[in-house]
Structure 1
Amino acid sequence: MKKIFTILGLISAAASMNAQIVINEIYGAGGGSNAAILYKYDFVELKNIGSTSVTLTGAYLQYASAAGTFNGGNSNHALPNITLAPGQTYLLQEGSAGSAGVDLPTPDAIGTINLSGSAGKIALTTNSTAPTSPTASNVIDYLGYGSTASAFEGTASAPAPSNTTSIARATGDTNNNATDFTAGTPTPQNSNSGTLAVSDTKNAKAGNFVKNTFVKSDEITFGADVKDVKVYNMFGQVVKSASVKENGSVNVAELAKGNYIVTGTVNNEPVSQKILKD
């Protein structure tokens, strides 16, 4: 699968290869008439799973039925120009089959694609040309889901969603839909979800919160029981979540070297601390 991006800032070509905006989660049962339906609209959530900010310009979201071909029309729409920081999500509200379910969080953009709630194909592309395969030259990311999907990345399609479940990316992108996606409770997140304004941390109360603000061993150690631990990068995006006991630790081996903000709740008091991972 070919990844094509415009990278913000002065970075090396090697770094740009790791920056990816991908299809992160989809829900296709929006509206309808079943009381179990969770959301009023279908949605597609994009995410930057790379390590640098990324811009998509002139990109399209395209949809085809499980056995069908991509043919534009109401199954194809342009996306606004998108710039996402590492870890940032982008919520696309799509079509609805009725009035069941609740509204989504405020979407970043709205389309009218009616996704199948059980099987289909979705492509994020660099232009409006209909993709002919998951590896077509204009494909940024491709998702075939449900057992009857005729095309997919890797060895098999992703599992099917349902009225009460979406399918979401488990971790990164191995270009294998079957292993990259799992079914579960929908968690639609727009570009403002899970963010922390870095300037808001200036009044942080550290106390006996983080014991090692200079992290050399890939473990953040805490001096108290801490609920709802969140680690934010300096773009204000959540990159790690946990809860720990006193003298417990959170492994952050997967995080790059640099500054982060750690927040949590100790004795019902919100606390936060800036750390440096070496």
Structure 2
Amino acid sequence: MKKIFTILSIAAVSLVSAQNLTVNPSFEAGLAPWAAGTTASYTAPTIATTGAHTGNNSAVYNAATATTGFYQNVPVTEGKTYVISFWYKSSGDDTDSRLWSVYKNAANGAVYTTATTEEDPFRTNNGYLPSASVWTQKTVEMPAGTGAVSLDVAFRVYNGGTASFDDIMAYEKGTMAVSDLSKSKFSLVRNTVVGETIAFAKTADIQIINAAGQVVKAAKVTEGSTLNVASLAKGVYIVTGSVNGEKVAQKVIKN
């Protein structure tokens, strides 16, 4: 409850928003700039147009015939801590998919922050994503080691595995922008008490932040559209975005 009050008090006078470093995080614009890799033999996922976590699209590997994967490289600053958060579904025996991300230096060499892969959350602690038949969120964080200038936000799927990915975010922890928005004349959402969907009054790139300060959804919405939030737990959230160049934050209560 204390966390909820903290977020609400911030929202009353300011915007708290984390910049998602990934481009096209929900695959609504197709695959690019996500690409097959980082190994040359890997193949790109299929863009599925039904059954997404949010929006219309998700990235899918159906019954992979070999180890494969996809990634996007984003800029980072050494010494800063970054968060990777995403939604996934994965079939099989708990060995079919994993997060396999790594920091890179200016020469595109790997920068490892931990002594072993078993301690590396960006490499699933040398494990796999648990099998999940419904959309499941995974969130991990790790500091960027000395010399790191970028991060490969990468995923792997293994022979025989079927896995889907959606709403992928990578953002810096602890340096969220705060700006005074108490006098904003714009509204992002049509109703502040919502059920399974949020209706939007403006076209914007939005983020939804939970009571713990975590970005739980990011999407591009249009005026008059709705966004499915059925997977979110009941509670208080902050919806942030930019309207006509002005940053806007609104509290919504999900019943």
- TM-score w.r.t. the length of structure 2 is 0.41
- TM-score w.r.t. the length of structure 1 is 0.38
Q: Is the radius of gyration larger for structure 1 or structure 2? A: 1
Name the one with the larger strand percent.
2
| Higher RCO (C-alpha 8 Å, min separation 6) | 2
